[in-house]
Structure 1
């Protein structure tokens, strides 16, 4: 359990990997496509609204979660390739959303796996370097295997994705926050939570045979159709911590996470497609959090505070 919330930044050791080197490596893995995000390059911008639940104040006093607000959001495909086909089953799906309430803003970034692929920044850089394509346009399998054998926890995310069927819709996908967020409730009590975003329609998947019939941009077409026909709803859940949870290790799930007690913080309803420019002109900044939700203590989150701005500067 946390006692205080302090939005302080992790300072890497001298000579360690940096946010800038991580962005460069992400771009290199994707073949250095210009003017796009270093990660989750392919996406669609949308708008909607947020309505809080009756229990939200038990978890956080944040104005963005305790009051109704406007939502700007982006659904996306993982990786730095803006042309990745939606039929690629081994690529993450992403959902970034911004809640705006009475002049306060919070940005939350979640994805379709409950863990990250690296525990530390140095490990993340080494993971990416092992996957940078060679002259033939492909990574060296021997380098990948050697790194994975020495760092088995870096396969946790890939194994989770590989064990699941192809998502049939952005609207029918569960999204996870891999970080442990310290939160303060209305009573002044502090604890850790993880965000879990659950589709109201339940999870929708495709078989391998069904996937063969789908277009490369089918998720984006499906998104447009569902919004046009009434909108999309997600519940924002808070997974509640227990003593001993690994709040510093983003490659590890909390024990019994799928059976954890949860509290619904509120509901997001997506009602309109917006121009890509509305999302591309800036970033969904993980460091933008209204009081009541603090910075996770792990170094991957700390690196994201700078990496997203570096990526924005490169694509502009």
Structure 2
């Protein structure tokens, strides 16, 4: 018998080292609990009637754990499902105060928190990173005047001119409905059939067949707002603007045979590259550039700048660099941040406005429907990743998972209750 075996053992006081099948703690701060905060003495065995069961209906710990697991998944995005995000900061280096009253574009040196999500368009969540596909480049700026989203791509044009064609474009590009393949690429008969009957798509197709759609890294991708927007200054004068992100790492892509080999070896190549760069302190940066032009310049163009299948050559309207975006922090939880972040083209701040681009108007209309479907409530803006960093005050209330509601007796406007009557228009 080993020495000391005849001595009683106090198992309740033993502390493990991380490899035990049942691990306990005496630290109240580390005690496992249910979602209701109830401490758990055993989270690995369900309650049973007798040694061999059956399981008991009264086991609320089992019920809650299975219930939550059964409801973990939310609908993936119809497009841009495979994405990867990171936190960062935008710093203004050249004021546009003459063109816009937007605070984020007016004060040189001002830093604004951002969250950026990169993505492929056609592939599902589990597809590979290096598919030949358009890439999303979406930037959420948490400005002092509210959230401003630049929901862009890595190509400056788009397939269609009118949002009414968007469902058909996506259906044609995604996997064919009877066989559910191919995914993560548009090189299949349905897409080519659609493209052959959609002449305006061919500018975009020329970009897709170039090396722009197989970037070497998210860090070496350009980004474009695609649409014409407007900047509006304090006097109410507006100027057309197109937004550009220029990577300081340079513009780099891979060849097709490289993409095929990399996809077989590491389908997570792009997300791994971004994560490791930020973790190592090699923070990627992009310069924000703007093309500014007035109605007179627009009238002289040989095409309609409100047509998203066209671009304005930079030699005709130069890109002015006004700020720098730096990604410097990885997410703490992929689902809570990258998967739940909700971008929308209609999220603009005072001093930025829409143009008459019909595709842009269709996007403005569509995004809220998507976010309600995916996140389950009009209160998705209460989620930390979507919540503005400035005060939020209005009379909107209730709905699933409301985390804040108006205080006091008033939930309408106009009202006669003076200072106690809640927020007022500015």
Aligned partner of 2:113 in structure 1 is: 70
Aligned partner of 1:249 in structure 2 is: 307
Question: Structure 1 113/87 Cα, relative in aligned 2: closer, same or farther at 3 Å?
Answer: same
Aligned partner of 2:320 in structure 1 is: 263
Aligned partner of 2:151 in structure 1 is: 109
CA distance in structure 2 between the partners assigned to 1:56 and 1:62 by the alignment = 9
Question: Structure 1 296/82 Cα, relative in aligned 2: closer, same or farther at 3 Å?
Answer: farther
Structure 1 residues 178-213: Cα deviation after superposition (integer angstroms, max 9, x where no partner): 100011246654211111101111112222343344
CA distance in structure 1 between the partners assigned to 2:355 and 2:84 by the alignment = 27
Aligned partner of 1:172 in structure 2 is: 220
Which is worse superposed, 70-79 or 230-239?
Answer: 70-79
Q: CA RMSD in A?
A: 2.5
Task: Tell me if the contact between 1:64 and 1:290 (Cα under 8 Å) persists in the aligned partners.
Answer: no
Aligned partner of 1:100 in structure 2 is: 142
CA distance in structure 1 between the partners assigned to 2:79 and 2:252 by the alignment = 24
Task: Tell me if the contact between 2:122 and 2:173 (Cα under 8 Å) persists in the aligned partners.
Answer: no
Matched, 1:193 2:241: yes
Match of 1:124 among 163, 166, 171: 166
Gaps of at least 5 residues in structure 2 are 1-72, 376-426
Match of 2:288 among 236, 243, 249: 236
Aligned partner of 2:275 in structure 1 is: 224
CA distance in structure 1 between the partners assigned to 2:257 and 2:194 by the alignment = 33
CA distance in structure 2 between the partners assigned to 1:128 and 1:188 by the alignment = 38
CA distance in structure 2 between the partners assigned to 1:80 and 1:187 by the alignment = 45
CA distance in structure 2 between the partners assigned to 1:134 and 1:40 by the alignment = 18
Task: Tell me if the contact between 1:224 and 1:273 (Cα under 8 Å) persists in the aligned partners.
Answer: yes
Aligned partner of 2:356 in structure 1 is: 297
Normalising by structure 1, report the TM-score: 0.80
Question: Structure 1 190/75 Cα, relative in aligned 2: closer, same or farther at 3 Å?
Answer: same
Task: Tell me if the contact between 2:82 and 2:124 (Cα under 8 Å) persists in the aligned partners.
Answer: yes
Q: Which has the larger radius of gyration?
A: 2
CA distance in structure 1 between the partners assigned to 2:315 and 2:223 by the alignment = 13
CA distance in structure 2 between the partners assigned to 1:271 and 1:129 by the alignment = 36
Question: Structure 1 131/271 Cα, relative in aligned 2: closer, same or farther at 3 Å?
Answer: closer
CA distance in structure 2 between the partners assigned to 1:141 and 1:45 by the alignment = 29
Normalising by structure 2, report the TM-score: 0.61
Query: Equivalent residue of 2:201, what SS?
Result: helix
Query: Equivalent residue of 2:352, what SS?
Result: coil
Aligned partner of 2:127 in structure 1 is: 84
Query: Equivalent residue of 1:191, what SS?
Result: strand
Shift of 1:61: 2.5
Query: Equivalent residue of 1:71, what SS?
Result: strand
CA distance in structure 2 between the partners assigned to 1:224 and 1:258 by the alignment = 35
Structure 1 residues 143-178: Cα deviation after superposition (integer angstroms, max 9, x where no partner): 544542332112322221212252111011111111
Task: Tell me if the contact between 2:305 and 2:311 (Cα under 8 Å) persists in the aligned partners.
Answer: no
Gaps of at least 5 residues in structure 1 are 1-32
CA distance in structure 2 between the partners assigned to 1:136 and 1:41 by the alignment = 20
Match of 2:77 among 21, 37, 40: 37
CA distance in structure 1 between the partners assigned to 2:318 and 2:77 by the alignment = 35
Alignment coverage as a number of residue pairs: 282
CA distance in structure 2 between the partners assigned to 1:145 and 1:212 by the alignment = 22
